[in-house]
Every structure is written in C-alpha cells, then in structure tokens.
Structure 1
Amino acid sequence: MSRGICLVVEDDGDISDLICLILAEEGFGVRAVHTGSAALEEARRMNLALITLDLGLPDADGLHLARDLRKVSAAPLLILTARATVADELDAMASGSSAYLAKPFRPFELRDVVNRICSPTPDPPFRR
C-alpha cells in the first residue's frame, strides 16, 4: 500500500537518487525535482504526503522556499542539508520544517525520521 507521494527537492543527482530509493522502499511514490521553482509548482499541483528539501539549491534560498512550501502544502517537511550548525537547524525549524537531518546521513537515519514525522498521530486518550 502506498503511503502517498513524496516530493524530493535536491539538486545533486546522486543524493536525489539515494533519497528516492530509500523513500520508495518505505512505501512512498516519489517525484524528484532539482530547483525551487519546480518544487513550488509540484507542491501546488500535488497532494503530497512528505517533502524533503535541500537548503542549497541553485535558484532559491532554501529557508525562503521552506516558508513558501508551507503556504501551499501541509505535508511534513524534512530539511536534508549539509548546513549542520545549531543555528541552521533552528532557522530551518522556524521556517516551518517538521524535522532536520544533516548530510551526510545514513539510510537508517532517513528512514527513522521519515517514519517518525509521517506516522499517524495516536488517538487522544479516552475522557469521560
């Protein structure tokens, strides 16, 4: 059963291929784009289950793009970036991301984060 469509926004082809492979193995349909403008276009057009976003894109500032993606999609947003300082992580979270993972990452780390942010929320406790 498909877990929905994931939009992978990554300008490095090898990294994009790896992310797509891992997400496909986790049950997602995957659409990869390499620019911020293509990401916004796809996010407006598709009902997404997840967005992964590299902050270092050739045509867009990743943090601004994250804010713009938040305006058009409620999908969980995972920042995957080589920017690995605490300030970068705080900026990413302030821009609306659901999680942050620094590159290089291990496949199991990506799986763990994706499964955490894409899992259904538990039912609220029973109240009388």
Structure 2
Amino acid sequence: MTHSPTHSPTNTPDTGLSAASTEALSVRALYEILEQRFNGKTWSLNEMAIGYTNDVGYIGRLLLAHDGTWPIDGEATAELTHKLAESLWWTFVPASKLDIDIDQAFSETMSTIRTNLEATIERTAL
C-alpha cells in the first residue's frame, strides 16, 4: 500500500473551501452590523464559541430525531441540512478572526490523518 505524502503549503490541493469561507465571512459581516446596532459591539470569540457549541449540541439531538429516538417539531433532515451548513459557517468565522488559513489547515490535517490511517491499516493487515 502506498502512502499519500504530507502536503506542504505549496502543493496543498484545493478543497473548495475558499468560496464557502468568503460567503461565510460576508454573512458574518451582516451579523456584525446588527450586533453593533443592538448590542453596541460585535460578538467576541467566546460568544461565538458558545453559539457554535449550542448548535453542535442541537445537531446531536437532530441525529437522534433522524433515527426516530428524539421527537422534534419539524423535519429532521431539513433541520440537519441547515445546522450542518451553519456549523461550517461557525468554523470559517473564528478561523478568519484568528488568521488561520482553514483551506490549508483542512488539507494538511486530512493528509496527516489519511497517512496515519493508511499506516495503521497496513500495520494491522492480517
């Protein structure tokens, strides 16, 4: 079995996250206008983290609803579609605020995980 090389910043494949990140930041800018108007300030990273973890918890309940073990008002798949997409948004926004190139980070992280999994599979082959 061959291993995928770890990607360096110069050969990181395009994951297509750039356009999604740009859109997420555009939407975030609109939220910031409203936050400034209503609260006199925009959300901090800590406030965003609370919003993010709240949504992740709700995704857990929606997965239970999808499996039929947690009742919800509405349709589980439609709600999951929305919340999973929104969770991507929650990832792009703090990455940008922290000056993290999320496209590069994702590619490099997946490459590392893939390499480690392939090595484990090879080591544990019967």
Structure with greater proportional strand content: 1
TM-score by length of 2: 0.29
Structure with greater proportional helix content: 2
TM-score by length of 1: 0.28
- Greater RCO (Cα-Cα under 8 Å, separation 6 or more): 2
